[in-house]
Amino acid sequence: MNNRNSKNKVFQRIKQTLKMHPVIIVLLALLIIFGSIYPDRFFSPINIKSILRQFVTLMLFALGPTFVVLTGSLDLSYVGVWMLGGVLVWMVKPILGIFAIIMIPVVGVTTGFLVGVIQTKAKIPSFILTLSLLMTYTGLAALLAEGYPRAVEGYEFITAPIIRYVPSTFLWTIPIIAAAIFFMKYTRICVYLNAIGSNEEGARLAGINVDKYKILAFMLSGGFTGVGAIILFQHLGGSAQMELKLNTLVWPLVAIVLGGTPLTGGSGGPQRTLLGAITFTIFYRGLYLSALHPTMVTLLVGVLLIVAIIISARGLKGVTVT
């Protein structure tokens, strides 16, 4: 009797989890499909290593903006933080030595603060604000670096191999993800962020200082992006990049939405982005192994974004979408 009860409970628990995170089903389905199509290649150590490498890139870019998406806004400045930060590291390296890397989080937090203040005080829609800022940063980075990608040496320890077949950057990513999930689960800030996302006017009436917490959300986003970009800086070649690609901008958004954080805000968080990033990476790598033309893969990613948003926008009644 007791045994059956507890069995039932486990079953209920699994059912509940699947209902909360339908993306797990997609993930398992993708694993089974790709695993059966290419049984040798898909689970080979090299492919798993590639999956982990790509997961790191995607996750570190997607982690910060998740906090902003919780409040219903959007933060697209992450690529800009990475680029401008990288150039600044190159510039101050002769002065600060190894500590020059601190410039990236500094740029991140400053950007977050700036965006938050402008967004809450001047009331500009956040996506257009951060997009314009991203463009400014790209231009600024190109201007400061005089148009060339600038390689910076001295941070090779970040990518130095520790365990075979596991990229070290993946190991460095784990504490960052853990910190983000800790923030989400055990602090009051994220309760407030969720409240703002689900009903901003209500949150204001309940006595939450909405502006303050929105600025804080943007700063959290900038901070996590900044810390992540330290790892990404070495992970993506140890130099500051100059060119802005639409793909770099959109993939993290796909990961966030796919994970189940709706763009209208109010629910979700880093733990869902984690699932979304894994699913997206496996989807992408699976397609990459196939005979499809790379342009078709790009096309399918766009379709995936739209479908994921449509599914996550299900059941939104009375919400004005512009």
Binding residues vs other proteins (CB under 8 A): 72-74, 118-119, 122-129, 131-140, 142-143, 147, 200-201, 244, 246-247, 250, 253, 257, 263, 265, 293-303, 305-306, 309-310, 313, 316, 319-322
Kind and range of the H or E element at 222?
helix 210-235
Nearest approach, Cβ of residue 77 and other proteins (Å): 11
Nearest approach, Cβ of residue 243 and other proteins (Å): 10
User: CB-based contacts of 262: which residues, under 8 Å, 6+ apart?
Assistant: 268, 312, 313, 316
Spatial contact of 48 and 165, defined as CB atoms under 8 Å apart: yes
Nearest approach, Cβ of residue 144 and other proteins (Å): 9
* Closer residue to other proteins, CB minimum distance, 178 or 306: 306
The residue behind tokens 């900038």 is: 222
Nearest approach, Cβ of residue 321 and other proteins (Å): 5
- What the block records as the tokens of 154 is 């001295």
Q: How far apart are CA 226 and CA 108, in angstroms?
A: 5
Crossing angle between the packed helical segments 2-20 and 23-37, to the nearest 10 degrees = 90
Nearest approach, Cβ of residue 184 and other proteins (Å): 20
* Closer residue to other proteins, CB minimum distance, 44 or 209: 209
* Closer residue to other proteins, CB minimum distance, 137 or 233: 137
Q: How far apart are CA 126 and CA 128, in angstroms?
A: 6
Nearest approach, Cβ of residue 275 and other proteins (Å): 20
* Closer residue to other proteins, CB minimum distance, 10 or 135: 135
Spatial contact of 73 and 119, defined as CB atoms under 8 Å apart: yes
Q: Is 140 helix (H, G, I), strand (E, B) or coil?
A: helix
* Closer residue to other proteins, CB minimum distance, 147 or 154: 147
* Closer residue to other proteins, CB minimum distance, 184 or 253: 253
